[in-house]
Amino acid sequence: MTYKACGGNPSKADEDAAKGLFQAGKTAYNEADYPRAIQYWRDAFERDCTAVLLLQNLANAYEKSGNIDAAILSLETYLKRKPDDAEAPTIQKRIENMRRLKKDTAPPPA
């Protein structure tokens, strides 16, 4: 899984569609339907790649669904696209904690 480069500003139609998809994803997330929330939010981000906060939503949903690698990728992509975020140190610490948790829960080598 990767996130494509952001090529610029979305059209008004794409912005509107992304907002609708965001709301649908929020509903799914609140219902603990994380796979569906992920799909809505990924679709929203595809339509409006300037809505980088969606990457944090995706990270939360991926983490709750147990896909730590995708959660880490979402947060790393967020930091690359918004390196000046005031919460960057906290987000980086979260990434480190997820990596440590993943390492600690990995099965021992055979």
pLDDT at 105 exceeding the cut of 80: no
Per-residue pLDDT tens over the stretch 14-41: 999 999 999 999 999 999 999 999 999 9
Alpha-carbon gap, residue 21 to 87, rounded angstroms? 25
How many CB atoms lie under 10 A from the CB of residue 108? 4
pLDDT at 107 exceeding the cut of 80: no
Q: Write down the pTM of the prediction.
A: 0.90
Q: Name residues whose C-beta falls within 8 Å of residue 37's C-beta, 6 or more positions apart in sequence.
A: 25, 26, 28, 29, 57, 61
